[in-house]
Amino acid sequence: MNAPAIQYADVSKDYGKLRVLDGVNLSVESGEVLALVGHNGAGKTTLMKLLLGLIRPTDGSVRILGADPVGHDGAEAKRALGFLPETVAFQQAMTGLEVLNFYARLKRTDLNDNPALLEKVGLADAAKRRVKTYSKGMRQRLGLAQALLGDPRVMLLDEPTTGLDPALRRRFYQIVSDLKSAGVTVLLSSHALSELESRVDRIAILNQGKLMVTGSLDDLRTRASLPVRLRLKTREGQAGDIAARLDGVDMTQVNGQTVEFACMPQDKMILVRRVSELGVDVEDMEIELPTLDQLYGYYRDGGAPS
């Protein structure tokens, strides 16, 4: 059985008396996309710095592609790593292509591949423009192109969609999907929780250096067992009839046509059947599952541990 692409075993990290990571156990398999979610200072960037070999754990062990990032075999493993930091900074007087060529030489990759990389991130038309003329979003995309140099097996993305408009965010996540299809492991951190919901395999929620929970979005919903919200739209005047005839249900009448319910996930179909038995004409129904924002708040504030 192959070792995980990324593995943290009982990892703690102290800066003096400040503990920024506390007993973290987490693994990421090859070809998996995992999102790190947490407040500023929760430990997300520290976890990435450990993989990059920029710092060592105070306790525990870290492995990337089976190697210790600061061990004798770490250099080879880190050559298969791509990294996009939260804040990208490039030499302002260089063109986008010159920047990419500079990093390609450091990584010993073929410079002839760089125009295609710039096209992939939407910077082909700006390849010969100086970086000082780039917008924040363009610099972010140049950073992504840099991270993609050399066909990495593991990608670390720290707040990668900062400064990107909705169209470019969709383009970015298409690149992430392509990486996953190619078997690349992706570890990303983001505060933009809503955009992660359908785009990652698993989510790891951190709070004050502790790993609170990890799992797929469905896993987190099942464990949290937060209420589901249903909104029904009826013919004008029938919402009040529903409100009057359903007892023992957490319900809000929005207007003459619309009524909202809150129930536990396992009860939603029972509630739907009860409404249908009333004989009212339901024109539309929406089911709103707990969002990642709501789940994050639940686990951050002491929900069930992993």
Per-residue pLDDT of the chain (306 residues; tens, 9 = 90+): 578 999 999 999 999 999 999 999 999 999 999 999 999 889 999 999 999 999 999 999 999 999 999 988 888 888 899 999 988 889 999 999 999 999 999 989 999 999 999 999 999 999 999 999 999 889 999 999 999 999 999 999 998 888 788 888 888 999 999 999 999 999 999 888 888 988 999 999 999 999 999 999 999 999 998 999 888 888 887 788 787 787 778 877 668 788 888 888 888 888 888 888 887 778 888 889 999 999 999 998 876 544
Number of domains in the chain: 2
Containing H/E element for 135?
none
Joined tokens for residue 228: 């589901």
Domain boundary among 206, 222, 238: 222
Query: Domain containing 161: what range?
Result: 6-80+152-222
Clarify whether residues 74 and 167 are in a common domain. yes
Q: Could you give the CA distance from residue 50 to residue 70 in angstroms, rounded to a whole number?
A: 9
Q: Which CATH number belongs to the domain containing residue 55 in this structure?
A: 3.40.50.300
Place of tokens 């599952």: 289
One-letter identity of residue 172: F
Tell me if 33 is assigned to some domain.
yes
Residues 156, 285 within the same domain: no
Residues 6+ apart with CB under 8 A from 40: none
> For the sheet containing 6-15, what is the strand order?
18-28, 6-15, 59-64
Distance in angstroms (rounded) separating the CA atoms of residues 20 and 269: 44
Task: Kindly report the CATH number assigned to the domain that includes residue 275.
Answer: 3.30.70.100
Question: Is position 126 within any domain?
Answer: no
